[in-house]
């Protein structure tokens, strides 16, 4: 969510709250509903700018603005008990000390439920809000991102898990032998440390990454706990899954230490026809001006000047996200869609869609899991609250009945929800001896 | 608070929670108690480093670590209704787009209760965590801070108050005529804007400043809504009050548009003797190693190598906070204290102290208000929860009885609690026409 549906027509759907992106009462209700549905986490995407789109599209878009993720997730931490809270932070436009500190704090406040969606920020307009005239080049963003990750995880390991003894009698608050001064000096960062927050409950908050380019996949295989991806078909999903898990094999990382989660846009109906009607109704709320802007953003290229009813021409490469671009191009070619059809279809979301009855959706999800297309899903709700309620009330019980989804939370932390191990501390304990 | 008492012996006081700085359940209770006491705000100081102190002091200090302020205040926003939430953010080590966005988000989530304690960060160790080898020079910090403020407030004005129309029927989410692209290009910052958050509920969150140097006072008079200061005596407080309010006169700003709030360390007893005994007991929990480190930090100079039982020698000027340094020097000279006495007394807090019965404390507070020493106070609790409970249960009713403190919240926002006007938008509405 960002924080609610990414679909640009969602706010106009009957029963939706048009102000939901900025009404905490609604967001609290959504998070509590997800928790009732035993979801692993609430995932919040982000942008560091008002998206650069034509005024005619901008004025129709609920995604023009949203809460800063940390502020919202921290507030949600206080009114939820078990659900994970995954927020986006940029390695290109933030500082490792800040990011390490915030996620460590959220992890403590939430009792081990924090996750960091590590992004290098593909939106070039963000650069203009942070003192740069041009966006940082793609490869350079990834090199900086990799070093940023090393610094953040190093800062999380500033203290042994048992460093804070707080012995009232002797007056010893913290054992200084169990403090590590990072002293990082690298190509992009010079950070002394230590972090002024004890080691997070989870050791390290869960690290989520979304890069699907060659550089992005490799960084994910080396460092991520979870990969957020967009794959339109099961075949594409299986290729991606095999590629990333294969990279883990090469690195000697156990396959189950990284979970692959494709974004899945889900529309639930009591019949297939009803589901399709809901989807079609939703699309009527997307203005062409809005769709063509979403398409232009996905392609990193203004396509509004081409014939709406013609095919998508050759689109030049840009410095933006390569994977998002290629996905749309593949999609256009496979289904022979016109620009207008692409624009209406995309409506702010792209990738995998599941439209049907609870049984049909559960069938598809089960197939993805069994055939190694994914380890789970990032469910994108078409509109809220109804789209969310439908999923929790109708699809979740079907998944539970099949034994492929939990009936109750078994662990307390997000790592436990995802079946991920708690990282050792590189400076203290057993890890140090390796 | 930071987030609990600043006194380095507080965590060892009988009944205190040694882990309170990292136990959200306790912090929630404290915030709710403050709200029951009708406090204006919960104020969270901050540091961007583990304070550079000798290991012997570090290991005894609860202030070695605390939550990142935003994470904590956002979580508290979800479990409180009326109390303001003031957090620290640094203009030297953060970006205006981030800071504008977070405070705008907190203001929306809390229904208009956010406040920004704008600091330029006097702790030189913070620089080492943000890629700098040397700390930024004092005057340069203030120039950057001033421009940072201009950018943040400009970003808060990105949208007219009525820009987000969210008209479902026509599909108009936001009126683009009511969006302003800041396009700031200055000495320190280049920020395009607009902010991707609607205008805050309060127009601008309340801006608090603490600088007491010449540069700090002038910036505060020009820009602050509230000044957090440390004044040891009523005479000093009156001089400071007259100076800052006089600067407002010169600028043509109404005096009541800036409130002056000295930090006040309060110990409540049912008798004066009991209050003094509590204070003395608290001081026994401060180790000399800890006190001498606090003193060295306040002076910006290591004084541990001097004779503990001799007077404070001449201390050279540094690049650190000048006002904190001068305050301690004045204090030593006025009371002819030895270094050991200074170290024990300071215990992590310095400035005004009120130790006595509820009546005596109310008398002192009333005198400060009547004689124009302050417009209110930042109450520093000696230990928690008892020191906080005592204040709310015993001192607040006495202040209410005298008619100098509210019995119920009259407004909904922090600005309303403080009697401050809601700023107009410099780009839209009546303000633009001036």
Q: Is A75 on the interface with B (CB under 8 A)?
A: yes
Alpha helix stretches (DSSP H) within A286-393? 288-299, 322-335, 339-346, 358-370, 386-390
Task: Kindly compute the dihedral angle of the four CA atoms of residues A241, A246, A247, A249, in this order, to the nearest 10 degrees.
Answer: 130
Chain B positions in Cβ-Cβ contact with residue A173 (cut-off 8 Å): 11, 18, 59-62, 64
Residue percentage of chain A with pLDDT more than 70: 97
pLDDT tens-digit readout, A302-327: 888 899 999 998 888 776 666 677 87
* Residue B404 to residue B360: CA distance in whole angstroms: 15
Closest CA to A39 of A416, A415, A409, A420: A409
* Residue B13 to residue B386: CA distance in whole angstroms: 10
Give the other-Cβ count within 10 Å of B410's Cβ. 10
Question: What DSSP string describes B24-45?
Answer: HHHHHHHHHHHHHTT-SEEEE-
Which residues numbered 373-432 in A keep a CB inside 8 Å of some CB on B? none
* Residue A296 to residue A294: CA distance in whole angstroms: 5
- pLDDT(B433) > 60: no
B395-398: long-range contacts, CB 8 A cutoff, minimum separation 24: B395/B266, B395/B268, B395/B358, B395/B361, B395/B362, B396/B37, B396/B38, B397/B358, B398/B358, B398/B359, B398/B361, B398/B362
pLDDT tens-digit readout, A47-85: 899 877 778 888 988 888 889 999 999 999 999 999 999
Token pair, residue B406, equals 């509210």
Q: Is B280 exposed, middle or buried (0-12, 13-18, 19+ CB in 10 A)?
A: exposed
Token pair, residue A176, equals 């200084």
* Residue A384 to residue B369: CA distance in whole angstroms: 51
Q: Is B55 on the interface with A (CB under 8 A)?
A: yes
B284 → chain A, closest CA residue: A171
Q: Is A179 helix (H, G, I), strand (E, B) or coil?
A: strand
Contact B70 A102 (CB under 8 A): yes
Distance from CA of A175 to the nearest CA of B (A): 6
pLDDT of residue A321: 62
Q: Is B106 on the interface with A (CB under 8 A)?
A: yes
Q: Is B159 exposed, middle or buried (0-12, 13-18, 19+ CB in 10 A)?
A: buried
Q: How far is CA B348 from CA A168, B51, B354, in A?
A: 18, 12, 16
pLDDT tens-digit readout, A116-136: 999 988 778 899 999 887 777
Closest partner CB to B65 (pick from A175, A191, A197): A197
Determine what percent of chain B falls in helix, strand and coil, rounding each to the nearest 5.
Answer: 45, 10, 45
Contact A176 B68 (CB under 8 A): no
Which residues, listed in sequence order, are joined to residue B262 by a DSSP beta bridge? B229
Q: Is A37 exposed, middle or buried (0-12, 13-18, 19+ CB in 10 A)?
A: buried
Q: Is B243 on the interface with A (CB under 8 A)?
A: no
Closest partner CB to B106 (pick from A71, A104, A195): A71
- pLDDT(A434) > 50: no
Contact A192 B129 (CB under 8 A): yes
Contact A11 B101 (CB under 8 A): no
The dihedral sign for the CA sequence B410, B416, B420, B423:
negative
Closest partner CB to A171 (pick from B68, B74, B287): B287
pLDDT of residue B332: 85
Q: If residue A107 lies in a helix (H) or strand (E), which one and from where to where?
A: helix A96-109
pLDDT tens-digit readout, B276-331: 999 989 988 888 888 888 888 888 888 888 999 999 988 887 766 666 778 788 87
Q: How far is CA A214 from CA A45, A138, A154, A220, A234, in A?
A: 22, 11, 25, 10, 20
Residue percentage of chain B with pLDDT more than 70: 97
Residue percentage of chain B with pLDDT more than 90: 69
- B253 within 8 A of B219, measured Cβ to Cβ: no
What's A395's DSSP letter? I
- A70 within 8 A of B74, measured Cβ to Cβ: yes
Contact B196 A65 (CB under 8 A): yes
The label of the residue with tokens 């160790």 reads: B125
- pLDDT(A204) > 90: yes
Contact A190 B66 (CB under 8 A): no
pLDDT of residue A61: 84
* Residue A211 to residue A51: CA distance in whole angstroms: 20
Contact B12 A171 (CB under 8 A): yes
pLDDT of residue A294: 80
What average pLDDT does chain A have?
A: 91
HEC secondary structure over A215-266: HHHHHHHHHCCEEEECCCCHHHHHHHHHHHHHHHHHHCCCHHHCEEEEEEEE
For chain A, what is the radius of gyration of the CA atoms? 22
> Which has the higher per-residue pLDDT, A8 or B261?
B261
| For residues A245-253, average pLDDT | 97
Could you give all domains of chain A from N- to C-terminal order, each with its CATH number? 10-265+407-421 (3.20.20.30)
A22 → chain B, closest CA residue: B108
């Amino acid at each position: 969510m960002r924080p609610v549906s990414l679909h640009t027509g969602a706010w106009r759907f009957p029963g939706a709250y048009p102000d939901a992106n900025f009404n905490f009462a609604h967001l609290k209700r959504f998070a509590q509903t997800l928790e009732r549905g035993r979801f692993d986490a609430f995932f919040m995407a982000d942008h560091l700018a008002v998206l650069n789109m034509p005024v005619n599209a901008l004025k129709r878009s609920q995604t023009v603005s949203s809460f800063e993720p940390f502020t919202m997730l921290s507030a949600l931490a206080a009114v939820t008990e078990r659900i994970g809270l995954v927020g986006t932070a940029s390695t290109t436009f933030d500082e490792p000390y800040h990011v390490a500190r915030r996620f460590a704090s959220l992890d403590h406040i939430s009792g081990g439920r924090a996750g960091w969606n590590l992004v290098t920020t593909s939106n070039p307009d963000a650069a203009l809000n942070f003192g740069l005239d041009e966006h940082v080049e793609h490869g350079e963003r990834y090199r900086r991102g990799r070093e940023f990750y090393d610094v953040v995880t190093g800062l999380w390991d500033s203290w042994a898990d048992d460093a804070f003894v707080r012995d009232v009698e002797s007056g010893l608050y913290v054992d200084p032998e169990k403090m590590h001064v990072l002293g990082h000096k690298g190509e992009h960062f010079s950070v002394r440390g230590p972090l002024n927050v004890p080691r997070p409950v989870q050791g390290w908050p869960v690290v989520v990454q979304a890069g699907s380019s060659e550089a992005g996949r490799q960084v994910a295989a080396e460092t991520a706990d979870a990969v957020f991806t967009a794959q339109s078909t099961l075949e594409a999903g299986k290729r991606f899954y095999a590629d990333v898990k294969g990279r883990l094999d090469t690195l000697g990382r156990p396959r189950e230490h990284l979970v692959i989660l494709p974004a899945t846009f889900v529309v639930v109906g009591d019949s297939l026809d009803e589901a399709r009607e809901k989807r079609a109704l939703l699309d009527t709320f997307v203005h062409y001006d809005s769709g063509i802007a979403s398409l232009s953003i996905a392609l990193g290229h203004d396509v509004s000047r081409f014939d709406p009813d013609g095919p998508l021409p050759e689109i030049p490469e840009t410095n933006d996200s390569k994977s998002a671009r290629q996905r749309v191009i593949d999609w256009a070619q496979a289904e022979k869609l016109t620009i207008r059809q692409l624009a209406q279809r995309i409506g702010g979301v792209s990738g995998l869609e599941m439209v049907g009855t609870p049984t049909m959706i559960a069938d598809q999800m089960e197939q993805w899991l069994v055939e190694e297309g994914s380890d789970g899903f990032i469910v994108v709700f078409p509109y809220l609250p109804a789209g969310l309620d439908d999923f929790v009330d109708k699809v979740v019980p079907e998944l539970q009945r099949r034994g492929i989804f939990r009936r109750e939370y078994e662990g307390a932390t997000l790592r436990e929800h995802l079946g991920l191990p708690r990282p050792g501390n590189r400076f203290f304990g057993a890890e140090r001896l390796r």
